[in-house]
Chains A and B, each alone.
Chain A
Amino acid sequence: MKAFTLLPVASLAEASREWVKPKTALKAGGVDLLDRMKEGLDSPDRVVSIAHVPGLASIEPGPPARIGALATLAKIEAHAGIRKYYPALAEAAGGAATPQIRNMATLGGNIAQRPRCWYFRQAEFDCRKKGGDTCFARFGENRFHAIFDTDICCCVHPSATSVALMAYGARLETVSAKGKRSIPLDQFFVLPDEDPTRENGLGPGEIIESVVIPPPASGSRSSYKKLKEKESFDWPLVEACVALTVSGGAIREARVVLGSVSPVPRRALAAEKLLVGSAPSEALFSKAAAAALEGATPLEQNAHKVRLARVMVERALRDALA
């Protein structure tokens, strides 16, 4: 790993000023960044550490909840208020990676982490995500890759918490030299057709400060389901999260989000539309799940992911509405 200077900063404003300088990386928990630096994907001369910026690790369960960007996945998973009002988020945070990583990984880092595509993660592959002109996964080893939005770069987004947060309609609050922004999470991510070298719309020096989750309406239900080949330390094959409001025997509001199926966490709008106004039933779950996967364009080795994602949507709906 190339030698670098570590710059601990005391505020996000300072971090933002430093980060825009050349050859500089931003570090919170450091879980993903160190991985990339060891592999030689990122070789910064300076690493700006926000790990000890005060006040950013707090969790105010609200509702509405406000979670500091430096709150660790372990803290979120264990937080009683989060478990009560936003159980799918606690589930998503608690099921990610390993206990050791969850103790280090921050919420902001989890949302802004880079994909785990095995071509992207090795320096030898000059893929589109690195500015090259080939997506090796497109016609290569793509068992774990996307089944939507596969034509330019078919990695999947690795953030489990984003899947849950998007279902809850969360917003990100960010800081940069231009000031503060509040961005709905479902407008935060960027598909490869816009720019394959990035996953989100953060501007230069723009840093996630906190995540705000609206209060759950009365009668709200949610569930996060994921499928992993291994129980220990494995990335999901597919994830589904649903957040619903039920009253008078019918679904009034619905958000359905799929994870690990596209380069971004993907809202299944067709499924949401189908659910709203209908009474919960097995037939409805199955129709909604099918709608969620409509238009999928699986690759040579991952057609089964369409089916698995459908099952996850069904199970999430069943679990939420049981």
Chain B
Amino acid sequence: MSKEKLRLGFQGRFEEKVVEVADGDPAPWDPSRKFSIMGARTPRLDGRAKATGAARYSIDVVLPGMLYGKILRSPYPAAVVKSIDLEPARKMPGVKAAMAIAKPGDKLRFAGQEVAAVAADTSERALDAMRAIRVEYEQKPFVVDPVKARNDDAPLVFEAAAETKTSAGDVGNARKPLPKKGNVQGPRASAKGDVEEGFRKADAIVEGTYVTAVQTHSPLETHGIVAKWEGDDLTVWASTQGIFSMRDELAETLGIPASKITVLTEYMGGGFGAKFGAGVYGVTAAKLAKEAGAPVKLFLDRKEQHLAVGNRPSAIQWVKAGATKDGKLTALSLLVHGNGGTNGGTGTSGPVKNVYECANVKTEEYDVFTNAGPSAAFRAPGHPQGSFALEATMDELAAKIGMDPLEFRMKNDPSEIRREEFRIGAEKIGWKDRDARRKSSKDPAIRRGIGVGAAIWYNTGGTGPKATVTIHRDGSAEVVHGVQDLGTGARTMVGIVAAEELGLPLANVAVKIGDTRMPYGPGSGGSTTTPSTAPTIRAAAWQAKKKMAAVLASKWGVPAESVEENGGAFAAKGDGGDAVHKASWREACAALPAEGVSATASRAENHGDAWKRFTAGAQFAEVEVDIETGIVRVRKIVAVHDCGLVVNALTTESQIQGGIIQGVSYALYENRILDNQTGRMVNPNVEQYKIAGALDVPEIDVTVLPVWDGVNNTHSVGIGEPSTVPTAGAIANAVSHAIGARIRRLPITPESVLAAFDAAAAGKGGVA
């Protein structure tokens, strides 16, 4: 351990902090540091391969003799399996394996739940064989409506305690057993201060009920793996956010040692929180491959993805808030009924508890079970829902006390970073003219509106990851690290950090990732990949350089500590301070033994004494609303975020844009619709499950504030989740501003806009 004095802060506002730095770990960079590549706009290392189609994703893997697996799923939302007959499927042409997943007597709890599976030599034959499996079901009463599910006479999804399962690495959804009555489990409760007292002190109180829909993850690449056995060794090519958590869940479920399993994820087409574990599909693929004695590819189709492998739970949130007339929040109260189908962990209280300063806060969260596909962690679990309700409440409260909604937020925001972000964003969106612009369109049917929302996020990564950096005699270097790149640019991030520390051009650094035979890499969840990985890479590169210095010291016959490295050049200074020995990078590398030098570093612990702040973020939305049709078009999003020190400006902005696009889609379109008559999803495709397309994406203006927080040696913080937190709330507030009526339901539909506008026009306050 050494104590290092650091200058930490943001926007020129730095303070000195003494931070304990672990042995083997470099001190966090100083704000005066001139970077060679950190923070620059660096194209992805694999951008060309992806754009040209050369990149081979797991879903593209084709092996000699490979079979195709297909899962038969329950057509009923609630049923008991009476019998499963695989024989008709086994007799079909090309079928090499068939297996039951459910057993007679098992209760199936949602339409889409796994029942049986087959593997055949073509995907078409697998599908035909799947359709040939005979299953006898005894249908049971079901409920898919989360409001009806709360009724006393509603059919029970779980007769006993809920059998909810946390997928490996399913961050943000930590669960402990909760009391359950009927289909309602909970509450998870929190209380700070005394809300009743807070409401007594309030000059103005507002309350409202906010309803959100179920959003499915819909990654471009669906869930799936290719499984190949060689003896007892299993290799899988997986579309996963956690190659190690995939490996460990396969080991556990299949009952084989983790050391016998290799998981590979070279390229990946998105996960958003739903792809940490092996899943039923992964385990099934491995079992089919074992039975068939041939590799099996089992990737879900779009319908299966919508039905069975996760979603953002819907929520019905009742919020009550009070403030004094000079604009201080006095009380915040939240009651949530979340619906994660057969899963729990549906709370939304994060924003209410953490964004704005309020002495009296009470939250109660209930999970409502329905006969619907289970929820999973989804990009900032609970936050987009919670933010929508909170930010609408803030607007309503501001209106009630006659204060500008942004000023009201600034008065209650404890984060100096976010207050700065609000200021920057307000300037860029033209906040001060927003009322004047409402009717500025030449088209009399168009109203314009501007709204705002805030983000908060918590994580700064942690220990566990390891990386090996090797410097070769020819001056090139390679980094080996078992992280996976979900599409965020993690591969390039790894290369940039190594190149920066080694003083090398990125082209001279080879990056090897996505393989469980490599040193352990973090699962990509909770926005922790970069803050876990970047400091590990830097530490390994730093240690490798130290080893180079030791090689030179021994060659020069000087003490190791007298050799210094500066910008890739080495020098040993004599007593007079003059360099008595010097070596350029090339010369130093040439002095290395044939194997070069390698260092494997572990991620050091976060510096608890650093200038840590929660990740902030502010987004402003400008919309146009057609008051005759209720159609909403988002014209512009101004996003101002922070995520420590940016490694790659290009991919950071890309992440933020992605979060915003997903947020636009959440605000206006996405909705898993279940049919109450049959309990089935009616829109399990990408035609009727609507997702924002290219023309629905607004102009996006991104600003990222660099924050030197000193929590880890690269000041790294993730951005994946906070970027999508405030978008929908800001859009809903913009629509409300445009039409002069409150929107309380997502997605915002033409009919809800028209209803709200009509009610406002009729002087009824306007709520929809």
Contact = CB atoms under 8 A, between A and B. Distances in A.
Contacts of B65: none
A308 B445 CA distance: 13
A247 to B, nearest CB: 30
A230 B669 contact: yes
A68 B320 CA distance: 63
B749 interface: yes
Interface string A225-249: 0010111111101000000000000
Nearest to B747: A229
Contact of B75 (A118, A124, A143, A307): A124
Given A1-B124, A232-B693, A311 B628 contact: yes
Given A119-B682, A136-B677, A140-B677, A304 B687 contact: no
Contacts of B750: 227, 229, 237, 304, 308
Interface string A203-242: 0000000000000000000000001011111110100000
A84 interface: no
A227 B680 contact: no
Contacts of B687: 116, 233, 235
B123 to A, nearest CB: 9
Nearest to B691: A230
B423 interface: no
Nearest to B694: A232
B629 interface: yes
Interface in B316-335: none
Interface string B517-549: 000000000000000000000000000000000
A237 B688 CA distance: 12
A146 to B, nearest CB: 16
Nearest to A97: B687
A311 B131 contact: no
A151 to B, nearest CB: 18
B695 A232 contact: yes
A229 B669 contact: yes
Nearest to A124: B75
| Contact-size category for B | 20 to 34
A3 interface: yes
Interface string B621-660: 0000000111101000000000000000000000000000
A231 B696 contact: yes
B209 interface: no
Contact of A2 (B128, B629, B631, B675): B128
B550 interface: no
B406 interface: no
A141 B633 contact: no
A118 B690 CA distance: 13
B101 interface: no
A3 B124 CA distance: 8
A125 interface: yes
A40 interface: yes
Contacts, number: 78
Contacts of A311: 628-629
A308 B629 contact: yes
A12 to B, nearest CB: 29
Contacts of B677: 136, 139-140
B682 A229 contact: no
A207 B764 CA distance: 56
Contacts of B695: 230-232
Nearest to B93: A3
Contact of B682 (A2, A141, A304): A141
B693 A136 contact: no
Contacts of B127: 1
A304 B696 contact: no
Interface in A101-144: 116, 118-119, 122, 124-125, 136, 139-141, 143-144
Interface string B734-752: 0000000000000001110
A106 B174 CA distance: 53
B667 interface: no
B673 interface: yes
B680 A232 contact: no
Q: For A122, A136, A235, which residue has the most chain B Cβ atoms within 10 angstroms?
A: A122
A21 to B, nearest CB: 22
Interface in A38-83: 40
A303 B758 CA distance: 14
A122 B682 contact: yes
B676 interface: yes
Given A1-B124, A237-B750, A311-B629, A118 B683 contact: yes
Contacts of B696: 230-232
A315 to B, nearest CB: 8
Interface in B668-685: 668-669, 673, 675-678, 680, 682-684
Contacts of B124: 1-3
A96 B693 CA distance: 15
Contact of A230 (B131, B630, B684, B690): B690
Contact of B668 (A118, A124, A139, A229): A229
A118 B672 CA distance: 13
A143 B671 CA distance: 13
B282 to A, nearest CB: 24
B669 A304 contact: no
B754 interface: yes
B692 A230 contact: yes
A272 to B, nearest CB: 23
Contacts of A125: 678, 680
Contacts of A136: 675, 677-678
Contact of B131 (A40, A232, A303, A308): A40
B617 to A, nearest CB: 26
Interface in B387-401: none
A311 B754 CA distance: 13
Interface in B40-82: 75
A128 B127 CA distance: 26
A141 B673 contact: yes
B629 A227 contact: yes
A18 to B, nearest CB: 23
A147 to B, nearest CB: 13
Contacts of B628: 311
Nearest to B633: A231
Nearest to A117: B682
A198 B515 CA distance: 54
Q: For A2, A229, A307, which residue has the most chain B Cβ atoms within 10 angstroms?
A: A229
Nearest to B695: A231
A301 to B, nearest CB: 8
A227 B749 CA distance: 13
A141 B754 contact: no
A303 B75 CA distance: 31
Contacts of B631: 227, 229
A119 B674 CA distance: 11
Q: For A2, A227, A230, A237, which residue has the most chain B Cβ atoms within 10 angstroms?
A: A230
Contacts of A122: 680, 682, 684
Nearest to B752: A304
Interface in B123-137: 124, 127-128, 131
Contacts of A227: 629, 631, 750
Given A1-B127, A124-B75, A308-B750, A118 B682 contact: yes
Contacts of B629: 227, 308, 311
Given A227-B750, A233-B693, A304-B630, 11 more contacts: A40-B131, A119-B675, A119-B682, A124-B75, A124-B680, A229-B690, A230-B693, A230-B695, A231-B633, A232-B695, A233-B687
Interface of A: 1-3, 40, 116, 118-119, 122, 124-125, 136, 139-141, 143-144, 227, 229-235, 237, 303-304, 307-308, 311
23 contacts: A2-B128, A3-B124, A40-B131, A116-B687, A118-B688, A122-B680, A122-B684, A136-B677, A139-B677, A140-B682, A141-B682, A227-B629, A229-B669, A230-B669, A230-B693, A231-B633, A231-B696, A235-B687, A304-B630, A304-B751, A307-B754, A308-B629, A308-B750
Closest 4 CB pairs of A and B: A232-B693, A231-B695, A304-B751, A118-B682
